[in-house]
Amino acid sequence: MEKFDLIIKGGTCILESGPKKRDLAVKDGKIHVLDKSEDLSATKIIDANGKHIFPGLIDTQVHFREPGLTHKEDLASGSLAAVLGGVTTYLEMPNTTPPTTTKEAILEKISLAKSKSLANFGFYMGGTAENLEELKKAKDIEGCCGIKIFLGSSTGNLLLYKRDKLEEIFKNTTGIIALHSENEEMLVQRKSVRDNATSAHEHANWRNVETALTSTKRVIEIAKECKRKVHVLHITSKDEIDFLAENKEHCTVEVTPQHLTLSSPECYDKLGTYAQMNPPIRTADHTAGLWGALKKGVVDVIGSDHAPHTKEEKDQGYPNSPSGMPGVQTIFPILLHHVEMGNLTILEVAKYLCFNPAKLYGLNKGHLEEGFDADITIVDMNKTVEIKNEDMASKCGWTPFNGYTYKGEINYTIVGGNIVVDHGQVSKEKFGKPISINQRKF
């Protein structure tokens, strides 16, 4: 009789073909699909009757602030927030202090994460005007998920928008190039809007739709010329969506739960600077445009852009308050909230948080199929849960979604076959591992 490490019996698995009852087993960190007739034995058996089983969720955009800004977050607190929210893998951004712009800096993050991270991890290398030789190495580093370029300045000092440098990077590197797309020259020209503002409502006026659209048009044109597909992060406007829909062969597209859920001016009325992020939350017609994009297949992944800042920092008042809001613990709950509202199906949630991220980044994850990594999230769709500030594990201790409810209590978060969260109880051992890129299917 074959002995497994873990058996999960009786649950409804979310497969790409649709939800299906299927028993799963785990051995040496990999998934086995069980034939009902098999003789079952395991160190641990989970009865998942009546539960939904998702492939472990992948958050493709987080800022965990280590090294350098660990008063806001670190790899321990960020990964705790992740697993409590059902996220088993996160891809982390390079705007730490110092920024992650060399192989050495990536290796340092990986070494820290190995001892501190509850979830699996990948780190982006930041693109600068000077680090092409380092960027060329990115694709061969286990635990490096790609290159990130800030075309407009945001938190930190990473910035690169000069055409010749972009061309150099596009032509001489391989793998994912993820872009923060805002037009730096326009941001600088329009800075008086920000400087004279007395409320966060002006944030979306300073960083207006034109600022995002002109940058996105320009960078896609460069990508086209270089025959290089790029990944455009956190798209916020219907205008960009219309443009990107015409250019899907040149790009993949991310949106965030906050841009799908909040809109201006209500979000600024209610949350003030806590709703301030880059690129900004815009009016409801843009939010509707993003939903349309999901339905039309323009969007490939949803990422949280988890960007924690402390309440003290946010309370400094606009424009001194930093941009960004936390989200890694609420990305899945908020999408489940939208399932309850009839805006998304369960299968679409898995598409944007599991199937597509795994394919886009080339991970052996995101599917409850034979031989895939045993990252698994088990939820009880019959239980209603309220999102509360006090339940947030992020060091920042707040969420823009305080008071939202969703159906789908997270019962287990399983990382590489190890139960990391069991009904809110978190394992002491850190099971997070660096991602490996196999083959990208986008």
Residue found by looking up tokens 């009546």 in the block: 50
> Shortest Cβ distance from residue 254 to ligand DOR (Å)?
12
Which tokens is 359 given?
Answer: 């394919």
Three-state DSSP at 121 gives: strand
Min. distance of Cβ 79 from ligand DOR in angstroms?
Answer: 17
Q: What is the DSSP string of 353-371?
A: IIIHHHHHHT-S-S--STT
In the complex, the smallest distance separating the C-beta of residue 235 from ligand DOR, rounded to whole angstroms, is 13
Choose which of 80, 145, 277, 331 interacts with ligand DOR (CB under 6 A): 277
Q: Report the Cα 298 to chain-centroid distance in Å.
A: 17
Site string for ligand DOR, 175-214 (x = CB under 6 A): -----x----------------------------------
And the tokens for 209?
């739709």
Closer Cβ to ligand DOR, 117 or 278, answer by number? 278
Q: How far is the CB of 303 from ligand DOR (least distance, A)?
A: 11
Strand order in the sheet with 23-27: 30-34, 23-27, 4-9, 42-47
Give the nearer residue to ligand DOR in terms of CB position, either 180 or 359. 180
> Could you tell me whether strands 418-422 and 405-415 are parallel, antiparallel, or unpaired per DSSP bridges?
antiparallel
Count of other CB atoms within 10 angstroms of residue 281 = 27
- Integer angstrom CA distances of residue 137 from 50, 95, 232, 355: 46, 19, 22, 27
Between residue 78 and residue 137, which ones bind ligand DOR under the rule CB under 6 A? 95
The one-letter amino acid at 202:
E
Which residues sit opposite 45 in a β-bridge? 7
Q: Which of 88, 237, 278, 413 binds ligand DOR (CB under 6 A)?
A: 278
Give me the least distance between CB of 210 and ligand DOR, in Å please.
18
Handedness of CA 221, 92, 300, 371 (dihedral sign): positive
- Phi first, then psi: what are they for 185, rounded to 5°? -60, -40
**C-alpha span between 191 and 395 (Å, rounded):** 31
Distance (Å, whole) CA 402 – CA 40: 43
Tokens linked to 43: 């160190």
Q: Closest distance between ligand DOR and the C-beta of residue 233, in Å? A: 8
105 vs 307 by CB, closer to ligand DOR: 307
Helix and strand counts by DSSP (H, E) for the chain:
16, 19
Q: 417, 26 in Cβ contact below 8 A? A: yes
Closest residue to ligand DOR, judged by C-beta, is: 324
Residue 416 beta carbon to ligand DOR: minimum distance, rounded to whole angstroms: 28
DSSP-based three-state secondary structure for 88: strand
Q: What's the closest the beta carbon of residue 432 comes to ligand DOR, in angstroms? A: 21
Q: Which is nearer to ligand DOR, 235 or 385 (CB)?
A: 235
Q: Return the structure tokens found at 221.
A: 């044109």
Residues 307-346 as x/- pattern, contact with ligand DOR by CB under 6 A: x---------------xx----------------------
Those residues whose C-beta lies under 8 Å from the C-beta of residue 420, and which sit 6 or more positions away, are 83, 88, 118, 119, 413, 414, 426, 427, 431
Q: Does 356 bind ligand DOR (CB under 6 A)?
A: no
The residue type found at 10 is G
Neighbouring C-alpha atoms within 13 Å toward the C-beta of 46: 30
Find the shortest distance in angstroms from Cβ 323 to ligand DOR. 4
Burial of 341 (0-12, 13-18, 19+ CB in 10 A): exposed
Q: Which is nearer to ligand DOR, 11 or 326 (CB)?
A: 326
Shorter beta-carbon distance to ligand DOR: residue 325 or 414: 325
| Minimum gap (Å) between residue 278 Cβ and ligand DOR | 4
Site for ligand DOR in 52-71 (CB under 6 A): 63
Task: Compose the 145-164 pattern: x for residues touching ligand DOR by CB under 6 A, - for all others.
Answer: ---------xx---------
Nearer to ligand DOR by Cβ, of 321 and 411: the residue is: 321
Total residues at interface with ligand DOR (CB under 6 A)? 10
Shorter beta-carbon distance to ligand DOR: residue 272 or 292:
272
| Least Å from the CB of residue 274 to ligand DOR | 12
Between 12 and 256, whose beta carbon lies closer to ligand DOR? 256
User: What H or E segment, with its residue span, contains residue 86?
Assistant: none
Smallest separation, CB 322 to ligand DOR (Å): 6
Q: Given the complex with ligand DOR, which of 181 and 377 has the nearer CB atom?
A: 181
Given the rule CB under 6 A, which residues bind ligand DOR?
63, 95, 154-155, 180, 277-278, 307, 323-324
